[in-house]
Amino acid sequence: MMVRIIYIFLLTVVIPLFVSAQNDSTVVKKNSFENLAVAGMYQNGYVFPTNDFIRGRNAERDTIDIFQSFSIKLLKQTTGKNEWEQLYNYPVYGVGFFFFDFHNPEEIGTPFSFYGFFKADFKRWNKLSLNYEIGFGASFNWKSFNPITNKYNIAIGAGQSFFIDAGLTLQYYLTKRINAEAGFSLSHFSNGALKKPNFGLNTIAPKISLTYNLADRPVFIKQEISKYIPENELLFLVFGGTKNVIFDSVNIDILEKYEGLYFPVFGISTTYNRQVSYKSKIGIGMSISYNGSVNAQAAVDNNDLEIIDGPLSDKIQISIYPSYELVIHKISIVLQPAFYLYRKKMKNQTPVFYQKIGIKYHFTDNYFVGITLRDYNFHISDFIEWNIGYRIKRK
């Protein structure tokens, strides 16, 4: 199931990130390599001690506090032919491949990631620029938790995970075709609690890279940008997902026990936004959700787990949240710090305050699809929301 979910993620998020800016039929390429580049990057950094496995409760009895990674990227340089490109100071976007080494292949494996990324300037000088970069993708080849053969790895519960990366860099033009870059980035690995245990991995690292442009650098197009007229919009969306729960107390085969049970999560949300500029939307929203894992119990029947469900009222939750969207053409990055207004009081509940970070893609002017990670304490995943929605827009 996790592999199918990763494929859906690539189709709905990473590929649109790479191709959405290419839909203008008026753009005519001069040659196959126009505005394309390849880059190689190296990182060596720090792993945050966010769980016992990382802090030294592992087979090696040693902290997992350093890692290194290598990346190869294919980049597309925008030129300003579309208005949004000039608004973002002629950004670069593309796809990449990451290889990671956490110096513990026996318990972590040798993971790699495929991802899409977007990089733009905060400030550009003659040959120098200060940039920010964000990336989303999927990671594979983890040596995941196994109660018999890999019982300490509570960080990664599945062989696949999601990958989020964000950072800052300084870039310098060495020659007409070669760029050098240095900076740092923060990365997060998690399967979104689709398979537990899933405490995740979080890293920070400096990075250096070299980029080779396959053709001479383009001349940026500068045109007058019309004054933005603020717009209001009302969003309606439905979301759904699953949550894996492990029942430690049941007397059952250990492999069956740690397979756990899967519970549905779904709901509806509405958000009122005001788009205050070409790049930013701010708003407020509310959601009503059903979380099937709340107050759920399990029974054993012929060495199989069966769900003993609780009352519906235990599982209904109502939340409110402020919302911010960073708008990049047809794609938006969504940040929503949220609070539960209503939920039935239970033992060992997650905090009242939780966080949502997501990405959405408008495949028409009014309809969009997206994926949102709901977590708490800023690093523990609760579940993944897959969503589809409709907006009503008014100037």
Q: What is the pLDDT of residues 79-105, one digit of tens each?
A: 998 889 999 999 999 999 999 999 999
Matching CATH number, 2-213, of 2.40.160.20, 2.60.120.1440, 2.70.98.30, 2.60.40.420: 2.40.160.20
Helix (H) or strand (E) run with residue 19 in it:
helix 15-19
DSSP 248-304: TTS-S-HHHHHH-EEEEEEEEEEEEEEE-SSSEEEEEEEEEEEETTTT-EEEEETTE
Establish how many alpha carbons lie within 13 A of residue 259's alpha carbon, considering only the half-sphere containing its beta carbon: 10
Q: What is the pTM of this model?
A: 0.84
Q: CATH 2.40.160.20 region(s) of the chain?
A: 2-213, 231-394
Of 6-20, 137-151, 276-290, give the lowest mean pLDDT range. 6-20
Type of residue numbered 228: Y
Q: Tell me the pLDDT tens digit for each residue of 375-388.
A: 998 888 899 999 99
Burial 144-174 (b: 16+ CB within 10 A, else e): bbeeeebebbbbbbbbbbbbbbebebebebe
Q: What is the CATH number of domain 231-394?
A: 2.40.160.20
Average pLDDT score over the chain: 90
Angle at alpha carbon of residue 174, lines to 169 and 180, rounded to 5°: 30
> What phi, psi does 9 have (nearest 5°)?
-60, -45
> What phi, psi does 345 have (nearest 5°)?
-70, 125
CB 186 within 8 A of CB 206: no
pLDDT, position 25: 40
CB 238 within 8 A of CB 213: no
The CA dihedral of 89, 94, 99, 100, to the nearest 10 degrees, is: 40
Three-class SS string for 180-207? EEEEEEEEEEECCCCCCCCCCEEEEEEE
pLDDT, position 32: 67
Q: Higher pLDDT residue, 121 or 12?
A: 121
CB 331 within 8 A of CB 282: no
Q: What is the mean pLDDT of residues 185-206?
A: 93
How many other C-beta atoms lie within 10 A of the C-beta of residue 312? 9
Helix (H) or strand (E) run with residue 168 in it:
strand 161-173
CB 69 within 8 A of CB 40: no
Helix (H) or strand (E) run with residue 166 in it:
strand 161-173
pLDDT, position 24: 46
Q: Tell me the pLDDT tens digit for each residue of 281-330.
A: 999 999 999 999 998 888 887 777 888 888 888 999 999 999 999 999 99
DSSP 230-241: -EEEEEEEEEEE
State how far the Cα of 293 lies from the Cα of 343, in Å rounded to an integer: 13
Tell whether the model's pLDDT for residue 123 goes beyond 80.
Answer: yes
Q: What is the mean pLDDT of residues 227-249?
A: 93
pLDDT, position 1: 53
pLDDT, position 285: 98
pLDDT, position 308: 83
Question: Which residue, chain included where needed, has tokens 């109660």?
Answer: 147
Share of the chain above pLDDT 90, in %: 72
How many other C-beta atoms lie within 10 A of the C-beta of residue 193? 26
SS3 (DSSP) at 34: coil
The answer to whether the Cα torsion of 140, 146, 150, 155 is positive or negative is: positive
Q: Tell me the pLDDT tens digit for each residue of 9-54.
A: 555 555 554 454 445 444 444 556 889 999 999 999 999 999 999 9
